[in-house]
Amino acid sequence: MAADGLKVTTTLLYQSAVVVALLDGIFLFVLTRIVKPEPFLELKWKLILWTGLVWSGIWWVVLSYFWENVYHFVFPIWSRAWLPIAFGLLMAGASLLFWTIAKLNTRIPVLIFCLLGGAWGICTHTWAIYRGIMSKPPMLQGASPLAALLFAFFEYIFYWCVIISLAALTGRIAAWITRKH
């Protein structure tokens, strides 16, 4: 497996958080200029669909590469096949909630949506820490839970930026096809 011999340290988590935070800053700067508030409101169902697809894909990949080294410590074996679907649906529901809250802000809904996604990352990772993700897998033992939560915040903002980008691109392609016909 790709994860054999990998050791996640507190330093690695903090350094990764800084790198992802910088990427987030660039991504958010661009997204808030490209996806204006009014068009963001029209992305509701595209956001929900892309959220389900992206998060199902993320979970399929992480379970494929990290089941033995990480996730079997916190999830029962019977759940492995269902986790990508379950997390895709859970995150699609979270996306609807984030969109509903973000649309209340008429100036920066994209930023609000992504920050809510980052906060959600802290929530999901807090739950994972409670389940033993930082203490049971040897790969993560000794790393700081605080560093993991900080990284999760920025990691999730990045994912939500990708989801908004895909939803906006889908919207633009659909509009282009509609104009052509």
In a domain, 5, yes or no: no
76: pLDDT confidence band, cut at 50, 70 and 90?
Answer: very high
Q: Indicate the number of domains in the chain.
A: 1
φ, ψ at 106 (rounded to 5°): -85, -5
Asked if the structure places residue 126 within a domain, the reply is yes
- Classify residue 150: in a domain, yes or no: yes
In a domain, 145, yes or no: yes
Residue 4 lies in a domain: no
pLDDT at site 178: 82
Q: Residue 53 falls within a domain, yes or no?
A: yes
In a domain, 154, yes or no: yes
Contacts of residue 133, Cβ cutoff 8 Å, sequence gap at least 6: 70, 73, 74, 125, 140, 148
Instruction: Work out the average pLDDT over 115-139.
Output: 97
* Residue 6 pLDDT level (bands cut at 50, 70, 90): confident
Q: Give me the domain span that covers residue 99.
A: 10-180
Q: Has residue 35 been placed in a domain?
A: yes
The residue-averaged pLDDT of 151-168 equals 98
3 confidence band (pLDDT: 50, 70, 90)? low
